[in-house]
Structures are given as C-alpha cells and as structure tokens.
C-alpha cells in the first residue's frame, strides 16, 4: 500500500483551496499512491464571516472530492470540511473517505474539540461553532484497516487504542491544522508516540504557513512506522510525501515486541 500525505495552505477562497488540493492529489496519484490524505479544513481556513455556507456530505465539496478520487483512481481521505451541523450555530468537522470509484466509504466527525486558552499564544473555542462527533471509525481500504481522527484528537490516546483494539486499525490517519506554537513542541512527539504505543503506521497531513486571520500552522506532515521511525516528511510549504507501507514490518514488530498483546488494562 503506497500512501501519500499532502500539505496545504488553505485560506479564505474555497475554490482556490479545492484546486490546490486537487493538484496535490494529482501529484500523489502520478507518484503511484493508492491512498491519499489531505489536511483538516481543506475547504476553508479563514475568517468565520467569509465562510461559505456549510454543506451536507453530498454537497459541492463532497461531490468535488468524490470526482477527484474517481478521476485519479485513488482512495482519498479528504482531510476535513465544514459539514452542516445539528443546529444553525454549529457545524461538524468532518472527514470523508472515498474509494477508487469515488463512492463514499466512510464519514468521521471530529470527537475532541480544540477549546484552549494559552495567554498571548492561542485562543480557540472550537465548541462555540462546532459540534463534537461521538463515533470512532475504522474503514477498510483494500484489506488495510484505517483508523480515522482529526487534529486535536491526537492528544487523546484512548481514541487510538479503541481504533486498534476494537477496530483492528493498522494505519492511523490524522488530518490536521496544528498551530505553530503547539506544533513545534508536540506534533512529532505525539505522532510517534501514537505509532509506537499502538504499533501502527501513522499518516498525518497538516496545514502549513499563514492563514487568515493570524493563524500560522506548523506543517511537517509525515508518515511514521510502527517502530516510531519517520519514513517521510514534507518540508515547509505545500507539498506531498509518498511512502510504501511494509505490513510485514508491522506484523514482525507486533510479534517480537508484543506490547499490544501484553496489555493488562
């Protein structure tokens, strides 16, 4: 299974964001990727006032990515987008997975919302405008069980443990828009920890650079193997990294260092 993670700088122009995302998926497909991952809020990352009306799963954004997956013949985890939520004041932060034919294979709504106040650094109240999901999701990608998550979820190891122990996940994906302040100290450490403790591959696609208004994202999208080794990383700025997942390596790590099997709680 060849996996690509795409790093993007989405801003306040949805049409331009979708075109940029499509160009990255094209690059990944021409490098032979089977499965392509985009970042969180691939559709829009700008001022709330200018945000296009949120859509249902089968709206313009969903249909756009279904068409990209079908045209390029890849599995596509379309980062996340602003889905019309349970009431007019709240959206869902939703990840859609399309198969090679462009059929919707899974939908995951971000469970943990980023409500953080770090004076002078980060002030974010995601729950003011986003409703939480409540269902962990594992999707079968041609025999590979893939556990879904979004950004802040990365800080909650119990979600990933469930994806692995109940859902059998072997690849964990993290579309994200991690901010610079937390990303530079926590992003890689958390991704490698989730990979090591769950003996899984982890693929994480981040937003990069400045977004309106005054939000700077860390980027450093990467793929990590079940030993915690970084197999590929996108440098600063938009780009793609493509990595082959060696599932025999996952099996031998799980057999030789059976920490998943040795759990007592």
CA distances from 29 to 32, 84, 235 (A): 5, 30, 19
* Contact set for ligand AKG, span 6-65 (CB under 6 A): none
- The one catalytic residue among 55, 83, 151, 200: 151
Contact 173, 167 (CB under 8 A): no
Helix (H, G, I), strand (E, B) or coil at 185: helix
Check if 15 is active-site: no
Judged by beta carbon, residue 4 or residue 217, the one nearer ligand AKG is: 217
The span of 2-10, 14-22, 179-187, 257-265 binding ligand AKG (CB under 6 A) equals 179-187
Tokens 């993670």 sit on residue:
5
Q: How far apart are CA 199 and CA 116, in angstroms?
A: 29
- The one catalytic residue among 55, 110, 200, 217: 110
Q: Which residues pair with 122 in a beta bridge?
A: 118
Q: How many residues bind ligand AKG (CB under 6 A)?
A: 9
Contact 151, 174 (CB under 8 A): yes
Contact 58, 24 (CB under 8 A): no
Write each residue from 101 to 140 as x if it is in contact with ligand AKG (CB under 6 A), else as -, in one continuous string: -------------x--------------------------
Check if 200 is active-site: no
Judged by beta carbon, residue 105 or residue 204, the one nearer ligand AKG is: 204
Q: How far apart are CA 126 and CA 115, in angstroms?
A: 6
The answer to whether 151 contacts ligand AKG (rule: CB under 6 A) is yes
Check if 110 is active-site: yes
* Contact set for ligand AKG, span 206-265 (CB under 6 A): none
Residues marked as catalytic:
40, 110, 151
**What does the binding site for ligand AKG look like in residue numbers (CB under 6 A)?**
114, 151-152, 155, 177-179, 182, 186
């Amino acid at each position: 299974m060849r996996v690509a993670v795409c790093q993007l700088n989405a801003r306040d122009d949805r049409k331009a964001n979708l075109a940029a995302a499509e160009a990255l998926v094209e690059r990944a497909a021409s490098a032979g990727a089977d499965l392509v991952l985009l970042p969180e809020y691939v559709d829009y990352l700008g001022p709330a006032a200018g945000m296009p009306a949120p859509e249902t799963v089968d709206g313009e954004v969903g249909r756009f990515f279904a068409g990209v997956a079908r045209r390029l013949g890849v599995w596509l985890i379309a980062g996340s987008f602003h889905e019309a939520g349970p009431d007019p004041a709240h959206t869902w932060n939703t990840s859609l997975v399309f198969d090679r034919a462009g059929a919707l294979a899974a939908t995951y709504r971000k469970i943990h919302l980023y409500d953080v106040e770090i004076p002078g650094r980060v002030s974010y109240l995601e729950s003011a405008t986003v409703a939480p999901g409540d269902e962990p999701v594992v999707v079968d990608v041609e025999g590979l069980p893939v556990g879904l998550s979004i950004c802040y979820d990365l800080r909650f190891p119990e979600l990933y443990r469930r994806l692995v122990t109940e859902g059998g996940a072997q690849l964990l994906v993290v579309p994200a828009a991690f901010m610079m302040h937390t990303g530079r100290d926590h992003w890689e450490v958390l991704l490698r920890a989730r990979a090591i403790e769950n003996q899984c591959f982890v693929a994480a696609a981040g937003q990069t650079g400045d977004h309106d208004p005054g939000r700077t994202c860390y980027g450093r999208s990467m793929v990590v193997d079940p030993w915690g080794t970084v197999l590929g990383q996108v440098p600063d700025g938009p780009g793609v990294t493509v990595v082959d997942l060696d599932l025999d390596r996952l099996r031998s790590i799980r057999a030789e260092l059976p920490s998943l099997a040795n759990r007592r709680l």
